[in-house]
Amino acid sequence: MLSFTCDYSEGACPEILRRLGETNLEQLPGYGEDKYSMRAKEKVRSVCGAPDADVFFLVGGTQTNSTIIATMLRDFEGVVAAETGHVALHEAGAVEYTGHKVLTIPGHQGKIDTDELSAFIETFFADANHEHMVFPGMVYISFPTEYGTIYTKEELDRIYRVCREADIPLFIDGARLAYGLAGDGCDLTIKDLAERCDVFYLGGTKVGALCGEAVVFPRGNAPAHFMTMVKQHGALLAKGRLLGVQFDTLMTGGLYFRLGENAVAMARRLRGILRYSGLPFYLESPTNQQFIILEEEQVEALSDKVAFDFWEKIDDNRTVVRFCTSWATTDEQLDELEAILVTITGH
């Protein structure tokens, strides 16, 4: 059945599969010491305009988030995140499992507000009892957010200024980074982003890789012995080549970014189709995740013919659902969706 459920429904982009095949029987050292990992790291540095960056390849998103957060926080610190942030809600308490609290502030369509962040930090330090509380020790944002929204360059500037003034690192979860950078109206390049945070990652799992996230500490600022802690977290892949070859491929000739562009172009067409069908949007998303509101009978009718993701109930009759495009989405799939919607909504 046709599916717009998520952006990790398919395997890998063909270029990756081909390179895995070509390099398959080469004997290579493990744990990321292979030449493909080395090359991939160098290309990541170049793409990010960060020649001194420390680059590491981890396997998946939750793992990457909890490893970064746990290794950068001191024991008495927690990570500040939007209450809708992935680390706050949907990672089975992986951050807390490492001993750290997620300190939540409001999320606005997935984004945090600079003034609220600033106030949160100021209020904390102004509290006479703050030595009895969890210190804010890092700020976590996602780009794009869990709601598909993106920060402008100015917004990111302001957030990062608050972080530097408070001497707190800023971490950008880029599980869908390529989709954010290609997003409508995005005025940030990956270089801009690398300059405006202390650590971020280029998500591979959701952008055409079988697995893998490329963690970047832009100014060579990785915690000491980060690799040992990656191992301690169970996140060090023996066959590091699997990640090296994939990111070497993604970072070659702008492939990673083209994959992002395809998803966003398809999302643009998807929005048109949905709008034409008269289905109301839950929010405006400039990236590959689109949220619409369906009535109960629409949900039933649609879900027979196309798979999508239930997001949340608004009331007894209405539900927010998510349609995702991805690097793999084709015009044929959208044609098919269009036809289905006509039969259901009548236009």
Site for a second copy in 101-160 (CB under 8 A): 101-102, 128-129, 131-135
- The kind and range of the H/E element at 272 are helix 255-276
Amino acid at site 330: T
- Out of 259, 328, 341, 344, the only residue in the binding site for a second copy (CB under 8 A) is 328
- DSSP assignment of 204-221 equals -TTTT-SS-EEEEETTS-
> Exactly one of 11, 106, 220, 254 binds a second copy (CB under 8 A); which one?
11
Q: Is the CB of 62 or the CB of 345 nearer to a second copy?
A: 62
Task: Tell whether the torsion through CA atoms of 11, 254, 4 and 321 is positive or negative.
Answer: positive
Closest distance of CB 142 from a second copy, Å = 15
Greatest Cα-to-Cα distance within the chain, rounded to the nearest angstrom: 63
Distance, in Å, from the CA atom of 145 to the CA atom of 151, rounded to the nearest integer, reads 9
Give residues 251-270 in contact with a second copy (rule: CB under 8 A). none
Could you give the string, one character per residue 272-311, with x where binding to a second copy holds by CB under 8 A and - elsewhere? Answer: -----------------------------------x--x-
How many C-beta atoms lie closer than 10 Å to residue 140's C-beta?
24
Please, which of residues 29-58 interact with a second copy by CB under 8 A? 29-31
If the CB atoms of residues 43 and 233 are measured against a second copy, the closer one turns out to be 233
In angstroms, give the least distance from the CB of 46 to a second copy. Answer: 26
Cβ distance to a second copy smaller for residue 90 or 275: 90
Q: Which stretch binds a second copy (CB under 8 A): 141-149, 235-243, 248-256, 275-283?
A: 235-243
In which region does residue 167 sit, left (phi positive, over 0), alpha (psi from -120 to 50) or beta (all else)?
A: left
Distances (CA, A) of 302 to 138, 291, 337, 343: 42, 15, 10, 10
Among 168, 194, 235, 294, binds a second copy (CB under 8 A): 235
Angle between helix 241-250 and helix 35-47 axes, rounded to 10 deg? 40
Residue 6 engages a second copy in binding (rule: CB under 8 A): yes
